[in-house]
Structure 1
Amino acid sequence: MNIGIIGAGSIGMLFGAYLAEAKHSITFLVRDSNTPNKLYIEKSNTVKQLIPSNLVFKMGELNEMDLIIIAVKYHHLQSIKDELDALPKNIPLLFLQNGLLHLTFATTLKHDTIMIGSVLHGAMKKDAHTVQHLGIGVTTIGILKGEWERIEELLLPPNAHFPLEISSQIEDVLFKKAMLNSLINPLTTIARVPNGELVKNLAYKTITKNIYDEMMEAFEEWKDRFSWEEVVTLCMNTQYNHSSMLKDYENGRLMELDTIVGAIIEEARKRNKKLPILHAFYLLLHEKNEVGERHL
C-alpha cells in the first residue's frame, strides 16, 4: 500500500520503519524543510537501519495514498483540520494520538473511514533523523467510523517486534491506555525518572499503586479488566524509556496534559468521583506546562 504519515516524530517514524519493512511504500509529510532526507531506526540500540521513505511538505501530495496516518500531537490537530478536510474523503485516516480528546476531533471530519490506534511501544527520537525503539508493545487499531476492507494488510506479515491487533472496542482500549498514561506520565515527569523507576523505587511504586487504587474506586467496571500487574509489566517493558510527557517537558514542549490526565479526571467527575492524588499531580503539571509554553 501507499501510506502517508503526517508527522515524523518518534511514533510516526516508528510506524514508518515497520510498515516499510512490511513492503509498504511510505511517505512522510513534514513541515520543517530542514528535516533530513534520510530517516533511520535503531532497534534495541543496534546499528541504524534506513527507513525507506519519501518526504513531502504539502498535504496535497498525499492525495493518492491508500491510507494516511496522523501521528502529530493532539494540540496540533486543529491547525491541520482544514487541510485534512481538503483530502479526498475516500482515503482512510488512522489517528495515533495519546489520550481521549482526539476522538471528538476525529468525528468532526467528513472522511468515509476513520480509525484510531492505541500504541504501547517505547520509542524516542534520538536526533532529527533517528528514532530508537526502546520497548516492544502492542498496537491496537479499531474503526471509529465507516469500514476498510484492507485493514488486515497492515498485519501482514506478522512481526514479533511490532505486533498489531484489531479491536471492535477501540474506545475502551483508548480509555485503558489513558489510565496507564495517567499512572506513568505525571509521576515520571515530576520526579524526572524513566518508567522503570516507578516500580523499582519503593516510594514511587507506592504512589503509583495509590493512584491505581483511586482509579479503580472511580471506575469500578475496570477492576476485573485492568490489573496492577499490567502496570508493573508496562513499566518494566519500557523501563529505560522516558514517558512522552517527560520528553515534552525536557524539550520545552507543551505537554499533553488535558487530553490524558485531564480527560481521566473529567470522566471521574461525571461519576461524582474524585482522584485526589492524580488531581494534585495535574495541578502541579499545569503550572509546569504554563512555564514550558512561555519558553517555546
Structure 2
Amino acid sequence: MRVGIIGGGSIGLLFGAYLGQNHEVTIFTKREEQAEKIKEIGIRLCFQDGEEKVIPVDAVPGDSGISDQDILIVTVKQYDLPQVMAVLKSAPKAVPLCFIQNGMGHLELLNILPQETILVATVEHGAKRLNDRTVSHNGVGQTNVSVYKGSYEPEKNFPMSADSLFPVCFYKEYRTILINKLMANALINPLTVVFQVKNGRLVDNPYYYELLRLMFEEIYSIFPLGEKEEAFNRIIDICKNTRHNTSSMLKDIQEGRKTEIDAILGYILKVAERKGAKPKTIQMAYVMVKGIEQERR
C-alpha cells in the first residue's frame, strides 16, 4: 500500500519504520531539513538491546503528494491538528484517514471532514525520537484501531507490518479504546510531570500511588467504562510494564515543548462540567502541570 504518515515525531517515525518494511511509506514533515534527512538516509530504528536497522522511506515537507496515498495516518499532537485540517479537507474523499492522538477532544474536529472513512487509533508502544530520522522503540505494545466513520473493514484493508514487534488489533467500539487510553494518559502523564519521575515510581512510592488512586476514582466516576478494579489494574500494569520509561508529557516538559494537558485533563474537566461533577484532584493536577509548563517554557 501507499501509506502517507503526517507528522515526523516519535509515533510518525515508529509507524514509518515498521510499515516501511513492506509498504510504500511517505512521511509528511513540517520542516524541509527533516524530510531531506529521512529521504536521503532512511529511518533509523533502535532497540533497547543495542540492535538497530535502517528502513528506506520517502519524505516530503508540507503536503505535496498527500492525495496520492491509499491511506493517511495522522500522528501530529492534538494541538497541531487545526493546522493540518485544511490539507485533510482537500484530500480525496475516498482516501481513509486514521488519527492517532492522545485525549478525545479531537473527535469534534473529525466531524467536519468530508472523507468517507475515518479511523481512530491508540498506541501502546514506548517510543522516543532521538533526532530527525532516528526513533528508539523502548517498549513493545500494540496498536488499537477502530472505525469512527464509514463502512471500512480494517481487518482486510488496514496496512499491517510484516514485523511481529508491531501488532495491530481491531475493535468495533471506538469509545472503548479511546477512553482506556485517555484514562492511562490522564493518570500517568500529569503525575510523572508533577513528581518528575519515571512511570514505575507511581506504583513503587505509596504516596504517589495514593494520589494515582484518588485521581482514578474521579475519572472513573466521569467515564465508568467496564469493571472498576479491572480498569484500575490496567493502569497499574502499564506503570509496571513501562516502569523505566519517561512519559511523553514529562519529555515535553524536559525539552521545553507544549504539553497535551489541555487535550487530556482539560477534556476530562469539560466533560465533568457538562455532567455537573467537580473533580478537585483532577483540577489540582491540571493547574499544577499548566504551572510547570509555563515555568519550563
- What amino acid maps onto 2:25 in structure 1? I
Question: Mind listing any 5+ residue stretches in structure 1 that lack a counterpart?
Answer: none
- CA deviation vs aligned residue, 1:163-207 (integer Å, no higher than 9, x gap): 211111112210221111111000101111111111122221221
Q: 2:107 matched to 1:103?
A: yes
Q: Is the 8 A contact 1:124 1:133 kept in 2?
A: yes
- In 2, the alpha carbon distance for the partners of 1:87 and 1:225 equals 43
- Asked if the contact 2:4–2:69 (Cα under 8 Å) also holds between the matched residues in 1, the reply is yes
**3-state SS of the aligned residue for 2:44?**
strand
- Distance in 2 of aligned mates of 1:288 and 1:113: 39
- The change in CA–CA distance for 1:226 and 1:272 in structure 2 (over 3 A counts) is farther
Q: Distance in 2 between matches of 1:131 and 1:221?
A: 33
Residue equivalent to 2:60: 56
Instruction: Determine the structure 2 residue equivalent to 1:207.
Output: 211
- Work out whether 1:30 is the aligned partner of 2:29: yes
> Is the contact between residue 7 and residue 76 of structure 2 (CA under 8 Å) also seen in structure 1?
yes
Deviation of the 1:40 alpha carbon: 1.0
Q: CA deviation at 1:83?
A: 1.4
Q: What is the SS of the residue equivalent to 1:68?
A: strand
Look up the SS of the partner of 1:123 in the other structure: strand
SS in 2 for 1:189: helix
Listed as ranges, the matches of 1:152-191 within 5 Å are 152-154=156-158, 156=160, 159-191=163-195
Q: Match for residue 122 of structure 1?
A: 126
Letter matched to residue 83 of structure 1: V
Q: Tell whether the 8 Å contact from 1:218 to 1:274 is kept in structure 2 after alignment.
A: no
Contact 2:10 2:127 in 1 (8 A): yes
- 1:11–1:188 distance in 2 versus 1, CA, 3 Å: same
User: Structure 1 pair 87/240, CA: closer, same or farther in 2 (3 Å)?
Assistant: same
Say which is worse superposed, 190-199 or 211-220, in terms of deviation: 211-220
CA offset digits 1:111-170 (Å, max 9, x no partner): 111110011211111222211111122211111111334653446567542221111111
Describe how 1:59-138 pairs up with structure 2 within 5 A: 59-138=63-142
Cα distance in 2 between the residues matched to 1:114 and 1:221: 23
Q: What is the rounded CA distance, in whole Å, between the counterparts of 1:127 and 1:71 in structure 2?
A: 17
Q: TM-score, normalised by structure 1?
A: 0.92
Displaced runs of 4+ in structure 1, greater than 6 A?
Answer: none
Does the Cα contact within 8 Å between 1:117 and 1:139 map onto a contact in 2? yes
Contact 2:119-2:147 within 8 A present in 1 as well: yes
Q: For 1:282 and 1:42, how far apart are their aligned partners in 2? A: 34
For 1:158 and 1:232, how far apart are their aligned partners in 2?
A: 30
**2:160 and 2:168 in contact (8 A); partners too:** no
Equivalent residue pairs, number = 292
Which runs of 5 or more structure 2 residues have no equivalent in the other structure?
A: none
Q: Which residue of 2 aligns with 1:193?
A: 197
Give the C-alpha shift of residue 226 in structure 1. 4.3
With over 3 angstroms needed to count, the CA separation of the structure-2 counterparts of 1:156 and 1:10, relative to structure 1, is closer
| 8 A Cα contact 1:10 1:131, kept in partner | yes
RMSD: 1.9
Q: Does 1:13 align with 2:9?
A: no
Q: Which moved more, 1:62-71 or 1:46-55?
A: 46-55
Deviation, 1:53, is 0.7
- The alpha-carbon distance between structure 1 residues 234 and 155, as it changes in their structure 2 partners (threshold 3 A), is farther
The worse-fitting range, judged by mean Cα deviation, of 43-52 and 243-252 is 43-52
1:243 is aligned with what amino acid?
S
What one-letter code is carried by the residue in structure 2 that aligns with 1:71? T
TM-score, structure 2 as length reference:
0.91
